[in-house]
Each structure stands twice: as structure tokens, then as C-alpha cells.
Chains A and B, each alone.
Chain A
Amino acid sequence: MSNLKGKVALITGAARGQGAAEARLFAARGAKVVITDVLDQEGKQVAADIGDAALYIHLDVTDENSWAAAVKETVAHFGKLNVLVNNAGIVQVKPLIDTSVADYMKVIEINQLGVFLGMRSVAGAMKDAGSGSIINISSIDGLIGMSGGSAYCASKFAVRGMTKVAAMELGPDNIRVNSIHPGGIHTPMITQAGMDESVMTDIFSKVPLGRVGQPEEMATLAAYLASDDSSYSTGSEFIADGGLTSGFSLEH
């Protein structure tokens, strides 16, 4: 079992969805967790539910100073920082020809620059801790295209690429960096993408495992990468998509 006893983890976008599931599971497996988000009320509630092992900090991932402050507060409160889960993200589904620069940049700022700033901001604290694990939440849209996802796919492919560079640069400090690629997951983001529940169920029932994924199933993968069980993995992609990207079928 991916044991997280003694680890301190900072998770972005942890007020709901996958981030909240990660916070709950990490705490259940022995970690201290810093829950960050821009949704303060929901974030504080998740932290309160978890108890003393959790702390909520407001963090806009696009803001350099917020990152510095959040890392500092984490170390002040829990004594160190071992794990970063760059989970915060937004989705936008818009045809390329209708995507304004402002639309495009909004997605890039949060999904891509947010991850860049996060990795940069935690490296010092992880060096101090002697090792670390950075988990960047990309997507299957960081592996393949999605119609209407010019900004989203660009940001998720960028996360996948930056992960590999950071793995090479931070490996000598024993900081591992990997990306997670969820497929269709039942979270509030799905409705942001303009899908209703029944459409979603229909689309994802066509994957090999025949169902949409649950946030808890991404949390277990994140826990694996956060734990010492994954001590020889760095710079690579970890996919949990029910088989969506494994290929296509000529049947029916």
C-alpha cells in the first residue's frame, strides 16, 4: 500500500473534485496535507472535515507571491514539504476559430504557468527535505487531441513536456517529477466543459472499462507517485483513463 506516513503534501485546486479526493486519501494514508484553492469556503470545509492533519491556504496558482507565501506557510505549519500535487486547472471547449487570445491565455495561465510556478516554488523546500515528489495533473488531452481544446490541449501537452524537463533537472536532488493523465472523471469540471451527466455517462461507457472514472481512482494513483513505492519513477506519464487512449475498435 502506498504509505504516506511522515509526508507533507501541498495540493492545489483541492476544494473539490480530484484535489479534494487526494487530500482525503493522503490524510487517510498518514500524510499532512495543505489544501489550496481559490474557492475558500469549500476548501476550508474540506480541511475542517479532515481535521488537524489538514490546513487550508488560499492560493491563486498564477500568482508568484502567493506561491512563495503558501510554501513558506506550509513549512512553518508542518515543518517541511515533500509532495506537490499540481492539480488546479480549468477546461474550456471552444473551436479554434472562435478562441480569442484572452480565452486562450486564461487557460494557459492557470493550467500551464500555474504548474511552472508550482514546480519552481517548491524545489528549494524539497531540497531542504532531502527529496520530494512533484505530481503534475495533465490529462488524456496531454496525450491526444480533443476537438475544441486548442487552449486546454496546449496547456496539458505543455505540462507533460515540462514534467520531463523538471525530472531531468531535479533528479540529482532526488526530486521526482511525473505527470498523471486522467481520462473522463466524474468531477465538477465535466459540467464546466458543457456536458450533462447523461451525455458524460454515454461518452465514457464506450471506453474499454465501460464507465467514467471516479476522483478517488485518481487519488490512489497520485498517492502511489507521492509514496516511496515509486522511488525509481521520474519524468514519465501515468495514465488512468479506463483504456480510452489504448486504441480504437473496428467492431460494431
Chain B
Amino acid sequence: MGTLDGKVALITGAARGQGAAEARLFVERGAKVMMTDVLDDEGQQVAAQIGDSAAYMHLDVTSEQGWKDVVAATVKKFGKLNVLINNAGIITPAKEVHETSLEDYRKVIDINQIGVFLGMREVVEPMKNAGGGSIVNISSIDGLTGMYGASAYCASKFAVRGMTKVAALELGKYAIRVNSLHPGGVKTKILDDINLSEEQAEEAFKASPLGRIGKSEEMATLAAYLASDDASYSTGSEFVADGGLTAGFSLDS
């Protein structure tokens, strides 16, 4: 039983965090999953744990040729491609805009933004062949609002949100749906990259309406919804799971 029976999904950044949670849940709900990452040891280990319904392949999302190889290998191994989760992403330690080097800025844009562009472009053909598909681009609440010290990250995540809408307009005629997913604070390794300890992160999200940080599994369920036929009339829009963080501000102390 599961709403992803018969689907083949490609997930980037799937060695850990949200990507790994998505791979696990998707298989549990009936899908076959091609997991990709640049962290080969961890990625292979997760795929091995999941079993025959998962495979792992190295993919640097900034590499055009890498994308072509992975898409071809996915179709070869599992027969088709129905779902792409553009999950791979990085964040760099907070730096004010006037202290951000061009090199740092470009690194974030390359992975978070160009990676998504390439991914969407490369899966269109196999999705057309499959009679339709669902592309889920992982943006962020930082694609909805600003975050101090994150000019490159916010730029990349707003860009993902914008490209999602354009792709939805262009690919709707092939029954390919394209939506963005906007996680709030989620307990994953990415928090290490902004030097936030687990305790600090939990504290930081206590003030949000649901009063807690999110779990990777709670992003995976939303991605599963968008990947499934349950979401058949949704395309080109934002799906937020942030515990209410962006709902507004409170005058209560």
C-alpha cells in the first residue's frame, strides 16, 4: 500500500538529512529511488540499508554531464523516471553582504540554483516519455523572506521559487507538475554549516507557533504528497512546512 506505487524517483543530496528521509519514505510508500550525492560512502550505505528498491550514484549537481549520466542510468535501471526531488543544497556561515566574496556567492548559486536548473532541464525528456511527472524543488523559507547574513542563500532559494513557476508554465502541457517546497528550521546536518549547535537550533525555533524545530521526516511526507497523484492539480506553487515561522509576527512577549 502507498501512494507512490509504480513511481521512479531521482533524489539529489540523498546521502543524509532530508534527502535520505525522502528516499526511505518513498520506498516505504512503493517507489523505486535513485539516490545521488557527492558523499558516496554515506549515500551507498543508505541505499544498501533500503535494499533493492534503491540505488546510489555519484552526482555533482553542477555538472551537466553528471546529470545526463544519472538520468540515463535511472531509466536504464528502473525503466522510467516520474519524480525528481532537487534537494541538494549548501549554506555558508552568515556573512553580511559587504563581506561576502564573489567566490562564496558563486559557490552557493552554482549548487543551489544552477543545480536545480540543470536537474529540471535533464528530466523533461524521460518524464515526457513516462506520460507526465512531478518535479519538487527544495527551496526554503529563505525563498519567501530574508535571512540576515545569507545574501547568496536567499538569492538562490528565491531563484528556485521563481524558476519553479516558469517551469510549471512551460511543462504543464506535458503533464509535468513543478512545485517548490519551503522547509523552515529542520534538524539536519546543514545546521552545522552555519555553526548552529543542536541546542541552539532547538532554542531558535521555540518561538515559532508550533514551538519546535522540524524533522526531516516531516519534509519527506510533504515531498511524497507532491510526488504522488494526490497532488494532480497542483503546479507552480509554494508548499511551506515551517511550523508557522512565516505566518506573521506577534506583539506578545
Contacts and interface: CB of A to CB of B under 8 A. Distances in A.
Interface in B200-243: 208-211, 214-215, 218-219, 221-222, 224-225, 228, 230-243
B236 A247 contact: yes
B20 to A, nearest CB: 17
A213 B233 contact: yes
A14 interface: no
Contacts, number: 140
A210 interface: yes
A127 to B, nearest CB: 15
Of A167, A213, A235, chain B has the most CB atoms within 10 Å of the CB of A235
B169 interface: yes
Of A1, A237, A239, chain B has the most CB atoms within 10 Å of the CB of A1
A2 B172 contact: no
Contact of A174 (B210, B247, B250): B210
A245 B175 CA distance: 17
Contact of A167 (B170, B238, B244): B244
Contact of A229 (B210, B222, B237, B240): B222
B169 A235 contact: no
Q: How large is the interface on B (under 10, 10 to 19, 20 to 34, 35 or more residues)?
A: 35 or more
A89 B240 CA distance: 25
A241 interface: yes
Nearest to A227: B221
Given A183-B233, A208-B173, A224-B225, A176 B210 contact: yes
B227 to A, nearest CB: 12
Of A183, A217, A230, A236, chain B has the most CB atoms within 10 Å of the CB of A236
Contacts of B172: 207-210, 242-243
Interface of B: 1-3, 29, 165-166, 168-173, 175, 177, 184, 208-211, 214-215, 218-219, 221-222, 224-225, 228, 230-244, 246-248, 250
Given A1-B3, A221-B230, A236 B247 contact: yes
Interface string A64-103: 0000000000000000000000000000000000000000
B173 A235 contact: no
A230 B248 contact: no
Given A167-B209, A208-B235, A243-B235, A232 B248 contact: no
B233 A234 contact: no
Contacts of A221: 230-231, 234
Given A164-B247, A171-B208, A209-B175, A232 B234 contact: no
A242 B235 contact: yes
Contact of A171 (B170, B211, B221, B231): B211
